[in-house]
Amino acid sequence: MRPPTRYRVILRNPHAHLFEVSCTVVDPDLKGQGFRLPTWIPGSYLIREFARHFVRVRAEARGTVVPIVKEAKDRWRAAPCAGPLCVIADVYAFDFSVRTAYLDALRGYFNGPSLFLCPDGRADAPCELELVAPDIAPYRNWRIATTMPRAEAAPWGFGTYRADNYDALIDHPVEMADFVSTSFEAGGARHDVTITGKVEVDLDRLSTDLAHICQWQADLFGNEPNSRAPFDRYLFQVAATGDGYGGLEHRTSTSLCCKRDELPAPGAPGLSADYRRFLGLASHEYFHAWNAKRIKPAAFVPYDLTQENYTRQLWAFEGITSYYDDLALVRSGVIDPKSYLELVAQNITTVLRGPGRKVQSLADSSFDAWIKFYRRDENSPNAVVSYYVKGALVALALDLTLRTARSSLDDLMRLLWKRYGETSIGVPENGIRDAAIELAGTHLNDFFARYVDGTEDAPLEALFAGFGVAYRLRPAEGQSDRGGKRGRNANGDEPPVAWLGASLAGGDEPVLPHVFSGGPAEQAGLAAGDSIVAMDGVRMSVPAIEKLVRRRRPGESVAVHAFRRDELITTELTLAPAPDDTCWLALADTIDEATRARRMAWLGREASGPQASATT
Ligand code: ZN
């Protein structure tokens, strides 16, 4: 066996946000040892150039300085020397997201790809990691949360950890802080939850709800009650702040960032929409332990962390996961079917409001994630479709389609798990379509051609009818209307609503973040980034614009004064009828027994169950 590569992370200067990270190779390459840093992190499809945060790099062997040169943006080479060779880097860490690294006197956190050099030719060597903190307050009270196996470190302690190889080393992010924690059993595995940040949280409630969701997911793939998860230990690493949202999946853990209001407060009644959002995020990342971390596209086996890894199937790894994240909440009994349908209707609304869905297919959105979905700009709503949100709707449509053919998406996931997850074989580019066709027949070729490779909307209205769900559309009632609710004008007896064709932001100094293709703002020559100064000669704020548009009827004109950069533009904007882009779903009461049975099999329970729905 190769000697282990030894890594050490020292909290060198938390106030300057600097880790000192070293990588030691016992028997370096005689021709000069090369080192490389990943340019991206699996699960987040953007070249992030982690090396840009390497502030200073030096090398030494046996107490002597060894020259080290940079060969490329992400590569270094040390001069030939006798080992052990140690490369030491000061790494700036001040990204609070789940994707990179962070250090101050309140918290330390890192993902391996942003800190750990991989010595050339040694990706398969075992790794040791030593975590070192100053023995002073506040670091003395910090604990370590990671699922990286402990070597000599005490439970939750600083000290040494180990990984089988480089790939494993960088898939166990490390949280270091004075966090609160709780644990629960599910799927035969111990699950820990750590929460960093100033929070008041009902940990018992959180554990109970997460345990239901996790066990349900293990049972889905295991196909029987009380199935085992494919790991012995799992960790939810949560960082809670005033504002934040995000998650990243790993093989036996996930890093989550949330608003502290999304965590359940002690004694809080019901299940708030905020808490439901947090549970959906946790459920999403947990589902990835099967779908993305173990069932993976062939393009990711192995990951090439030096460049983009292209696949047209991200819609399935993210979209199917996005479908099951909320579905797991209702199927496990944590939310009721009405609350679930509200979430689905909000997703439908999000997709319907993006003209980009008519331009880009899910397969193309997957392929171009690196330069489009992860690099959104003012034109993205017109040019890009989200493989998460539309992907979830196509997964839903596929589930309902398979169910009418006496199968289900559950069956498809179990087939993919047996074929690709348990075997660690990558899913070939058409592997998911082919598996679906095996289950339900070649008519599904048409489904994939239209909704995955093509840009058609999934036929949800027709599919829902077979499951006792009524699909309804109405115009938006303002910027904060995300859909999911019936709305004031559900019966259509109010006068038609007018529409500007642009989104608004900026409060008292309104700007247009997005101008939608073919809408009134675009036709009037307004552009994304324009600041609206006045309409019909009166100074405007965002609420004032909303009020003005509400009072007018479609077809009426408004004089608009706007600044583009520093130049004044004057134009006449003709309001259009607001599109029916806001969805709400209702359980149909008068349905036959066969429809009721299908609905029950899909949602896992009788749709008029006793659970309380989300409060808002
Ligand atoms: Zn995801």
Question: Is the sign of the CA dihedral 214, 146, 414, 340 positive or negative?
Answer: positive
pLDDT of 614 > 90? The answer is: no
Query: pLDDT band at residue 548, thresholds of 50, 70 and 90?
Result: very high
Give 66 Cα–ligand 1 centroid separation in angstroms. Answer: 42
Angle, helices 321-331 vs 273-287, to 10°: value is 120
Give 318 Cα–ligand 1 centroid separation in angstroms. Answer: 5
Give 281 Cα–ligand 1 centroid separation in angstroms. Answer: 9
Give 322 Cα–ligand 1 centroid separation in angstroms. Answer: 7
Give 122 Cα–ligand 1 centroid separation in angstroms. Answer: 30
Query: pLDDT band at residue 487, thresholds of 50, 70 and 90?
Result: confident
Q: Which amino acid is located at 548 in the chain?
A: L
Q: What is the CA angle 244-245-250, rounded to 5? A: 130
Average pLDDT over residues 174-182: 98
**38, 113 Cβ separation under 8 angstroms:** yes
Give 188 Cα–ligand 1 centroid separation in angstroms. Answer: 24
3-state helix, strand, coil in the chain (%, to 5): 30, 25, 45
Angle, helices 389-404 vs 337-352, to 10°: value is 120
Give 339 Cα–ligand 1 centroid separation in angstroms. Answer: 22
pLDDT of 22 > 90? The answer is: yes
Kindly list the distances between the CA atom of residue 94 and the CA atoms of 16, 67, 88, 111, 174, in Å, as whole numbers in the listed order: 9, 29, 19, 12, 15
Query: pLDDT band at residue 605, thresholds of 50, 70 and 90?
Result: confident
**How much is the CA Rg of the chain, to the nearest whole Å?**
26
Kindly list the distances between the CA atom of residue 320 and the CA atoms of 116, 331, 364, 480, in Å, as whole numbers in the listed order: 32, 15, 16, 27
Give 511 Cα–ligand 1 centroid separation in angstroms. Answer: 31
pTM metric for this prediction: 0.96
Average pLDDT over residues 94-110: 97
Q: Tens digit of pLDDT for each residue in 276-332?
A: 999 999 999 999 999 999 999 999 999 999 999 999 999 999 999 999 999 999 999
The domains of the chain are located at 5-177, 290-296+308-487+588-616, 498-577
pLDDT of 608: 55
Pairing of strands 101-103, 159-163: unpaired
Query: pLDDT band at residue 429, thresholds of 50, 70 and 90?
Result: very high
Query: pLDDT band at residue 420, thresholds of 50, 70 and 90?
Result: very high
Give 246 Cα–ligand 1 centroid separation in angstroms. Answer: 9
Of the candidates 419, 171, 440, which has an alpha carbon nearest to the alpha carbon of residue 298? 419
pLDDT of 616 > 50? The answer is: no
**464, 470 Cβ separation under 8 angstroms:** yes
The answer to whether domain 5-177 has CATH 3.30.360.10 is no
**219, 331 Cβ separation under 8 angstroms:** no
Average pLDDT over residues 610-614: 40
For domain 498-577, the CATH class is: mainly beta
**What fold is seen in the domain 290-296+308-487+588-616?**
Neutral Protease; domain 2 (1.10.390)
Which two tokens mark 29? 């390459």
Q: What is the mean pLDDT of the chain?
A: 96
Report the DSSP beta bridge partners of residue 113.
none
pLDDT of 398: 98
Report the DSSP beta bridge partners of residue 235.
192, 253
Give 297 Cα–ligand 1 centroid separation in angstroms. Answer: 14
Q: Tens digit of pLDDT for each residue in 75-87?
A: 999 999 998 999 9
Give 285 Cα–ligand 1 centroid separation in angstroms. Answer: 6
Give 58 Cα–ligand 1 centroid separation in angstroms. Answer: 37
Average pLDDT over residues 113-121: 98
pLDDT of 11: 97
pLDDT of 167: 98
**175, 194 Cβ separation under 8 angstroms:** yes
Q: Tens digit of pLDDT for each residue in 212-259?
A: 999 999 999 999 999 999 999 999 999 999 999 999 999 999 999 999
Give 319 Cα–ligand 1 centroid separation in angstroms. Answer: 8
Give 284 Cα–ligand 1 centroid separation in angstroms. Answer: 6
Give 115 Cα–ligand 1 centroid separation in angstroms. Answer: 23
Which two tokens mark 336? 């009721």
Q: Which amino acid is located at 222 in the chain?
A: G
Residue spans of alpha helices (H) in 50-200: 166-169
